[in-house]
A and B are shown apart, each in its own frame.
Chain A
Amino acid sequence: DQQVKQNSPSLSVQEGRISILNCDYTNSMFDYFLWYKKYPAEGPTFLISISSIKDKNEDGRFTVFLNKSAKHLSLHIVPSQPGDSAVYFCAASGVSVNGGSQGNLIFGKGTKLSVKP
């Protein structure tokens, strides 16, 4: 059972336009959400995070929006650049279903973003 879902395996956007990556989650105990970016043959790199007490967090060209009632979050990248082309993973943490620690992250399957010049 996927607790974090990224339903779009891929997204193609023109350089300079907005990229919107979406993520849904099912576990209402999640209280912290993150986006990671991954280039081929490298490990994931932290991009931006948001706590469940907020509905928006912004860092330069990257903004994450959280809609708790819909259990949905999205990452907006504007303007998109060719160097943003990578796989983007949504991740969540909180009290796990077995009562475990908050440290481990639950990841979605990722969305491959291609930004065309």
Chain B
Amino acid sequence: GAGVSQTPSNKVTEKGKYVELRCDPISGHTALYWYRQSLGQGPEFLIYFQGTGAADDSGLPNDRFFAVRPEGSVSTLKIQRTERGDSAVYLCASSLAGGRDTQYFGPGTRLTVL
């Protein structure tokens, strides 16, 4: 079956602009996670959705970052007033029901802020 997909695969933007990154999880997976991977680092947790609600947003670095999952499927990560330090690969993962269920990752969106 289809895995986790993310669009766009690459996004180049200018400092100060707004960007949206999209994640399509595996069908039927209720849990969805966003991570950010900077160069030379491991993935860093941002936010976790269970269904439509954000169960844990403790990893969002500041209020410029926001994510939604209005119908419990597709999720959008929104970044306002982008900064050069936001440049990273943004990874999305989904799992069947959260907890210790295996997280399946998408290929990521590489964001470059000039």
Instruction: State the A residues within 8 Å of B (CB).
Output: 4, 6, 32, 36, 41-46, 49, 89, 91, 93, 96, 98, 100-110
Closest A-chain residue to B42, C-beta based?
A: A107
Contact A105 B58 (CB under 8 A): no
Closest A-chain residue to B34, C-beta based?
A: A104
Taking a contact as CB atoms closer than 8 A, the residue among B40, B44, B55 that contacts A103 in the complex is B55
Taking a contact as CB atoms closer than 8 A, the residue among A32, A43, A93, A100 that contacts B58 in the complex is A100
A46 contacts across to B, CB distance below 8 A = 102-104
Pair count A-B, CB < 8 A: 65
Supposing A44-B91, A89-B43, A110-B42 touch, asked if A105 and B103 sit within 8 A by C-beta, the answer is yes
B48 contacts across to A, CB distance below 8 A = 101, 103-104
Supposing A43-B107, A43-B108, A44-B105 touch, asked if A102 and B100 sit within 8 A by C-beta, the answer is yes
Which parts of B3-47 form the interface with A (CB within 8 Å)?
A: 4, 31, 33, 35, 40-45
B93 contacts across to A, CB distance below 8 A = 43
| Given A103-B56, A105-B45; 19 other pairs, CB 8 A cutoff | A6-B42, A41-B107, A43-B4, A46-B102, A46-B104, A89-B42, A89-B43, A91-B42, A100-B56, A103-B31, A103-B50, A103-B98, A103-B99, A105-B35, A105-B43, A105-B103, A106-B45, A107-B35, A109-B41
